[in-house]
Structure 1
Amino acid sequence: MNGFALGADQEEWCGRLRALSATRLRPLADKGEPGRVNRPLLAELGELGLLERVFDAGALELCLLRESLAYGCTEAETALALQGLGAHPVLGSGTAAQRERWLPQVRAGRAVAAFALSEPGAGSDAAALALAAEADGPRGESGSGAGSGRGAGRGWRLSGEKCWISNAPEADFYTVFARTGEAPGARGVTAFLVPADRPGLTGEPLDMLSPHPIGRLVFDGVPVGPDDLLGEPGRGFAVAMATLNLFRPSVGAFAVGMARAALDATLAYTARRPAFGGVLGDLQAVGHRVAEMATRTEAARLLVYAAAGAYDAGAPDVPRRSAMAKLLATETAQYVVDHAVQLHGAVALQRGHLLEHLYREVRAPRIYEGASEVQRTIIARELYR
């Protein structure tokens, strides 16, 4: 990338992705059931090699991938991103056995991953999570994997609840963050890889505004052992933050993709919609609003690319840049989609219209992976550091 301008190869790749999202992914998304995991769509993402890119790409390439897919098929973008979010802790902190067991299946779209951090009482304040990991006997007596592997020589039993977990309860495995109690707050959290078939693990889907697969998980003494650890006991919060710092700029890219789709739809509509002896675009009020939408979208896009570039360069200010990118891009997408609906009028409120779909999709990113208020807190903390 030259400054903030994409190179010709990058522009061509993004164009191919937008075309693929419309021709090969959109039809599969339309056949899926809202609020459920779309396994044929995941398999196609694997067949196209796009899931492979999630794990091999740098932050900038991940942003371009998510932005381009979001432009033409938000369901495909979300399915791809959730695979990355759920499995990146395995890539970064898992054992060789864990990686060999799960990552080829995730990359191929055959296994569904999930990132299980949020709880009913611990959403934005992730360090306040309460899912308990209670010690379960001496070495060798745990229900899974005890007696070998890393960390403590005994197992744990997970008891509690996770809520608003993407891909739950249909995922094949969960990256779960639980309190093992080595220290208070974030220092007493441990990350585990928990296959969905573990005894005591149940769940139910939640009916949400956006059509994503989201659910609740209940842990009733679910057995885990040292071989299920992701990283070291008491270091799970660092595992979570390493994943979120990578994905936060790309959440912004998802938002930019939606904003660009809404902007292009608005330009096309206002250029042809008859109004007051001309077309809507002839009205100064309309033209000025579209100009504002375009300017904000471009500013958000550039900030996302800058944050991704900083991550790829190993810059020390990645947390601040990532928070800024997610904050501006998600708030901008909400603004752009809302004004796009207003300029389209009643037609955009019809079920099945692109903007009706985007209006439901665009609200959630301002909350998940750290609400806008949390991003502002991170930015302020980093500025005063």
Structure 2
Amino acid sequence: MKKIILSVAILTLSAGSLFAQEMFTGIGTKGHYNKTIKGATAFAIPQLSVGFETYVETKQVVQEGKLSKLQNVFEAHSKGGQYAGQQSGSAQVTTILNAGMTLEDYQALTNDFQKILEREIANAGFKVVPVEELMQQDAFQKVKDRFEGKTDKKKGKVDESDIGNAKVQMLPEQGIFMFNEKSFAVGGVPLAVAIKNYYKASDAILMTQNIDVDFSTVELDVDLDAGRRGKTTSAEMKVVPKMRITYNTFDFISKNGSPGSTPARLNADFISDKEYSAVISKDKTKAESLMSKLFSLKAKPDVNFDPRIIEMSKEDYIAASKDLFTQYSKEFAKSLVVGAKGK
């Protein structure tokens, strides 16, 4: 239920820090979707699936270096033995969000995200069909009908108990869920025909977005000394009050009625360039109390780790989330400009 992130290094991507074409795989200077959106003047976003992380375990694994391994092999052989094998070590940090957010708050925030993305794409010079308008278009109705069942199922999985326990997965109230990297099938010939008919009536390229937003940035620096008499692992850890997008895939549905064979994706974590106001505490007793309050489960998990609790006001959480997503949307819109030029 909880999300585990394996971290080797964190690359900070703030607005303007990288050229737009370097941020994504699948769109930009080189990308399989450039052909789909070449010459595009308008976009519509029927799907914006947002996962809000509320409980995250970040783990970094390190392997013994070649020199240390070689020394240990020689040491073992000199004593007539054999080295057991390359050693590894790891460190893990658990972070828990406490911001007083409810499902209604996450829904309103997701609705705002949709507006922000549409606004920034429009600011980049494209025409954008708002999701509310798209859902009312006659040409889009058969496409919408095809995904209503999948959308209802997706929304039905969201529960208040996810807050503080797992990822809260939301869709805008007017949006639908079409597919992510695990579901490329678009429904066969009837849907392909429906999408083709939509494109006959509209010049707006259909785009789907899947994004996960984490409430903090964890920096782990793990050091392993395999040694000749056993290994020791040390780690330095820092929890930074900066939000980040840890996962992002997106598709553009072509006029033949299907997305690409693989989704486009963000190349590395997109980290906000602004810190928010929060209290970051390390208190096992407080974590147990917080879990008792947040988890509406028959059996809450044992707190046998060393958690960091990120406490902030609801208002600060919402403001930080919007600021992060605005930064991301501006950079994403720049990449659309590059892709639409067909380079």
Structure number, greater radius of gyration: 2
Query: Which structure has more strand as a fraction of its residues?
Result: 2
TM-score (norm 1): 0.22
